Amino acid sequence: MTAVRPLRVNAGDVPPNRRRGGDIRVTLSPATVGATSGFGGVLKMLPGESVTEHYHPYSEEFLHVVAGQLDFFVDGALTRLGPGDSLIVPIGARHRAVNTGDVEIHAIFHLSPLAPLPALGHVDVEPPLYGHAPLPQVGGA
């Protein structure tokens, strides 16, 4: 018999991951709800905060800005995003985010498909801001 996992997760119940900057909370994942095709969650960034450059060798990333103004770089090209804007980051594209505005950013993200192993899901291009912080726990194979 398999364990029943919740289908609903509140972001406030998930510990933040600040390894790459910002406040990243993985809410829906193999580890939290038994997801099999990807994972997602929320990102908050105070003015002046950034998320270091990285890429996903197996996954596309979908990003939707709910509040704030976000400078988002994909392979070095700047795209300015505001409330209601969505963006896709192709598999393998380097990307980073910077809050150059004066209000907190709130964004929603989703990545799919899953990498073969969680440790293969992200490749850092810049050193993590907080190298001692653990990697986000998404679970899976």
> What residue segments make up the domains of the chain, in order of their start?
17-124
The encoded tokens of residue 94 equal 């380097």
The C-alpha angle 139, 123, 80, rounded to 5 degrees, equals: 105
pTM (whole model) above 0.85: yes
The encoded tokens of residue 28 equal 């829906």
The whole-number average pLDDT for the span 65-91 is 97
Architecture of the domain defined by 17-124? Sandwich (2.60)
Strands of 95-98's sheet, edge to edge?
77-81, 70-74, 95-98, 50-55, 123-124
Pairwise CA distance, residues 132 & 72, whole Å: 25
Confidence grade of residue 5 (pLDDT, cut at 50, 70, 90): confident
The whole-number average pLDDT for the span 122-136 is 71
Q: What is the pLDDT of residue 99?
A: 96
